A and B are shown apart, each in its own frame.
Chain A
Amino acid sequence: KKLNISHSQITRLYSRFHSLDKGENGALSREDFQRIPELAINPLGDRIINAFFPEGEDQVNFRGFMRTLAHFRPVEDNEKNKDLTSGEPLNSRTNKLHFAFQLYDLDRDDKISRDELLQVLRMMVGVNISDEQLGSIADRTIQEADTNGDMCISFSEFTKVLEKVDVEQKMSIRFLH
């Protein structure tokens, strides 16, 4: 309902969910995700798997699965004009950015600290870069975004610095229409 995904898509996603669910218990565990081989060669793969699981849990049911995937629905034009009284749909720009933000911010304190940024950088960059260089990159990155000088990137700073980026396009999967 709030997810706004069409019936045929839900059916398709359910069959995918079902084929991933080896234990046949109606919920996916992390190992089920890890069976997908391409995730093993995706640097952020494990983190994205993590994003499916709510805090502290080891299983995700279909509803949760859909919920996370709903972030990636393309943003439709008429939705942009919708008033926000009913709460933003999951695939709004803000929520998409929030999804990405939470991939960086592991301790969920709504701030990306230097350490967290370093970890993400380390994951995304080859072994050829030394930690010191990485550290300097992280410092500069924080410098670019940090406006209130707390050496951390808050969500609002994150949103602001990415305002030129076409998030709607980059974080949308077309078939989830």
Chain B
Amino acid sequence: MASSVYLCLLRAVFLVCFVNPLIQGLSEDESVFQNPHHQQEENLTGLPIVTFKWHHVETPYLVIIWVFVAGLAKLSVVELNHHVISVVPESGLLIILGFILGGIVWGADRAQTFKLLPPTFFYYLLPQIILDASYFMPNKLFFSNLGAILIYAIFGTCWNAATVGLSLWGCYEAGVMGNLDIGLLQFLLFGSLIAAVDPVAVIAVFEEVHVNEVLFILVFGESLLNDGVTVVLYNVFDAFVALGGPRIDAAEIFKGIFSFVVVAFGGSFLGIGFAILLSLLTRCTKHIQIIEAGFVFVVGYLAYLTAEMLSLSAILSITFCGICCQKYVNANMDEKSVTTVRHAMKLLANGSETMIFLFLGVTAIDTEIWVWNTGFILLTLLFVFIYRIIGTFLFTWMLNKFRLVPIEVIDQVVMSYGGLRGAVAYGLAALLDEDKIPEKNLMISTTLIVVYFTVILQGITMKPLVQWLKVKRAAHSDLKLIEKLNNRAFDHILAAVEDICGRIGDNWWTRGWNRFEENYISWLLMKPKARKNRDYLFSIFHKLNLEDAINYVSEGERQGSLAFSRSDEAANVDFKKQFGSEFADVMPNIMVDMSNYELGIEHFSVTSIVKDTIPSVSLDIHGQDRKNAMDDINAHHLLQQHLYRSRKHHRHKYSRSHFSINQNEDEVQEIFQRTMRSRLESFKSTKMGVNPAKKITKHHKKELTHKMPNGHPDGTGHLYGDEEVEGLCVFLPHLIEAGIENPVFLPDMDSPTHSPPWLMETEAVAPSQRAQRRLPWTPNRLRRLAPMRISTCSTDSFLMADVSLTLEEHEEHSQTDHVEM
């Protein structure tokens, strides 16, 4: 708290002392701006040692100052949120801060010198945000919900525009708004600019409220794609206003509709074209890796500007550029470049967003633009809100008839409440031509008020609303252990059966597309090395990781278990250090929490687990009652903390500031490793027991061993991060294969009868849409799963031999143990 107060004071002082004189100086210097040299020559009487060259650096200086101030603002807002309960979303706080700053500037200058000008906004501040959003877009989710997103974006926006415009016009005709110089077309124009849901605001607010991934992608996708419609509607009505009412006939209207098709699809294809260009570029930059990262930004920005130049939808262009290029760019580029791009993008997007919200606040403090018309403003707010709700429910009702996974009512409520307007609406309003639209200032004022309302008020209430709705549904009663356990078990069961059913609908199209994409597009756009490494890479050093983890653990135990019990924190098996230089980006964090290991010393386990939940844990084991209560609480908390979460709980997290993997990935990895081990065990036992049914071709083995010493692959980052499932899936063939790879273990590998599926060229099982990558699989001949016996030492569970195996296999297993250690 102290630090944030300190920061605020610092900033205020800074602003007052520094910016003010600058502004004074600015207004004074304007007169001499034209003749800098003249000025110098006139006053020159001796050699000036130092001169104050304000006019030389004026423009860049002001820009940098504002960027600096924006950075400070963000810092103080974040600090504030950190220490005080974060009720107001950061964007809201930034706007309020903008008010204050605007007040200061206005106080000094009596005029708003620093306004958010539309060109600045549209050309310098917006593109990065959209590029960032699209570059990190979860493609699978996006494309699987594309139908719904398009419906909302196109029809939803048209609906909003039409209804708001017409209702306002109706109210105007009814005389509620008093005297305005405005007509139906202008109302429709206003409706079209206020109708669009704003991606910046959506990200800013939803980032702090963690909703489920489908809901998020629907709102977010809609906010991105509705630009196509907005641009068209805006331009069409702008042209209509210019033409005047009488000149509009059916031909013009048809032209309007046609222009939508051209603008939207043109923009998208332009974006895709630039994505191809970018992918090809990164494919060729093997020798100049240092500038690779720059290409992403440059080409992205080019896409945006080119579309703008051709009056196509610029946002759609840059969106599709980002969406399409992600995979190839990430595969082709060096990992360092991938990391650079990620960090730089987040940085730019964060910075831009901060500046946008700040300036939205600053711009408000300007007496020139404010025109207050109670009827207009209040009615706009009302209509925008109501029609959003009606529109959402209407379209969702229609969509649910066709969707396999219907959108629930709660989600619809959040979706309608999340229709935030933001800077794009303001930018469009500021672009209006005053001559054609006399009431421009009124529109700007209204737009600003709508933006503030949605961002601040709806932003504040979004989180409580989400929580309230959830709480209303779940009955919170004290569950017994067995109920908790079973609830979780049911979640897992349901998730598994859903996956078996392929519920989302794997169909011919997705399979066909995947095949086409792999064979042709990847061939064209990806580096050959990257293509080859796609599948094998992860597996190889995942196997290395695992081996090392196993070694570490077993060695540690041999050394003496107390070594682990003493450390309070988890002993971090930090492979980053070992392999960091080579595999930095793709390294899964395998953390083994050593402190909780079974040591036969009871009190250690209790304290370490019940850390923050029960602050004062009494180690007094004598009191029987207390022990029982303790045990009860312990057991509940243990379960609570350690039960694996089911897939439904793995929320997608789009965040402006964090792009690291979901915390749940550790869990997922654990489960995956275990399952694979158990399958591997069973497979190994079958392998030895039965004739070698697997064909592991020599060439494949050679490739594998060849890759291992080589070590450094390029371009692997693409699987890391967002796509937990896919990345992990790839481990499977290699895990199994690597285990089999052991020469001690495999006597001979002559003509097997059956080629393992991972070597087969034919495609694997049609995946559900959740897993559209090439599937891994398991060995063909698997014995019936026998229950795993668990030893007293938990580490042995994965090295454990299945007791029911025959002696022969026991020998093999001891050999395996020997080798793996």
Contact = CB atoms under 8 A, between A and B. Distances in A.
Interface of A: 13, 16, 19-20, 22, 29-50, 53, 56, 58, 69, 72, 99-100, 103, 106, 116, 118-133, 136-137, 140-141, 144-145, 161-162, 164-165, 167, 170-176
Given A125-B643, A136-B635, A161 B782 contact: no
B629 to A, nearest CB: 12
A41 B672 contact: yes
A62 to B, nearest CB: 13
B787 A119 contact: yes
A131 B787 CA distance: 17
B483 A43 contact: no
B739 to A, nearest CB: 15
Interface in B641-657: 642-644, 646-647
B285 interface: no
B483 A120 contact: no
Contacts of B483: 161-162, 164-165
Interface in B438-488: 477, 480-483, 485-488
Interface of B is mostly: helix
A23 B423 CA distance: 56
Contact of A144 (B482, B490, B497, B644): B482
15 contacts: A13-B501, A35-B757, A37-B775, A38-B768, A40-B728, A42-B499, A48-B496, A50-B785, A58-B784, A100-B486, A124-B485, A125-B639, A126-B667, A171-B490, A176-B501
A40 B489 contact: no
Given A43-B492, A72-B497, A37 B776 contact: yes
Contacts of B491: 170
Interface string B501-524: 111001000000000000000000
B472 to A, nearest CB: 16
Contacts of B679: 34, 46
Contact of A173 (B497, B729, B766, B767): B497
A35 B775 contact: yes
B659 to A, nearest CB: 21
A118 B790 contact: yes
Contacts of B768: 36, 38
A103 B489 contact: yes
B782 A38 contact: no
A140 B635 contact: yes
A125 B635 CA distance: 12
Given A132-B605, A144-B480, A35 B764 contact: yes
B631 interface: yes
Nearest to A169: B490
Contacts of B201: none
Given A119-B788, A124-B644, A144-B480, A35 B777 contact: yes
A137 B639 contact: yes
A124 B489 contact: yes
A-B pairs, 5 with minimum CB distance: A130-B598, A37-B729, A34-B778, A38-B499, A19-B766
Interface in B584-605: 592-593, 596-599, 602, 605
A127 B666 CA distance: 11
A106 B787 contact: yes
B782 A41 contact: no
Contacts of A53: 784
B418 to A, nearest CB: 24
Contact of B492 (A42, A69, A144): A42
Among the interface residues B496, B646, B647, which one has the most CB atoms of the partner chain A within 10 A?
B496
Interface residues of B, number: 89
B490 A122 contact: no
B253 interface: no
Contact of A130 (B404, B405, B493, B605): B605
Nearest to A104: B489
Contacts of A47: 785
Contact of A41 (B592, B593, B602, B675): B675
A38 B790 CA distance: 24
A44 B494 contact: no
Interface string B660-685: 00000001101110111011000000
A145 to B, nearest CB: 5
Contact of A40 (B488, B593, B729, B757): B729
B490 A100 contact: yes
Contact of B493 (A129, A133, A171): A171
Contacts of B493: 44, 48, 99-100, 103, 171
A42 B794 contact: no
B490 A20 contact: no
B500 interface: yes
Contacts of A165: 483, 486-487, 490
Nearest to B481: A141
B294 interface: no
A173 B485 CA distance: 20
A39 B500 contact: yes
A136 B792 CA distance: 14
B98 interface: no
Contacts of B405: 174-175
B770 interface: yes
B765 interface: yes
B755 interface: no
A35 B497 contact: no
B556 interface: no
A131 B490 contact: no
B593 A42 contact: no
Contacts of A34: 679, 777-778, 782
Contacts of B668: 41
A75 to B, nearest CB: 14
Contact of A121 (B485, B498, B593, B599): B485
Contact of B728 (A41, A118, A119): A41
B797 interface: yes
B671 A41 contact: yes
B765 A131 contact: no
A24 B778 CA distance: 17
A45 B675 contact: yes
A22 B725 contact: no
B765 A39 contact: no
Given A40-B672, A41-B672, A137-B481, A131 B794 contact: yes
A71 to B, nearest CB: 8
B349 interface: no
Nearest to B676: A40
B488 A124 contact: yes
A161 B477 CA distance: 14
A69 B501 CA distance: 8
A172 B490 CA distance: 10
Contact of B482 (A16, A19, A56, A161): A161
Contacts of B602: 132
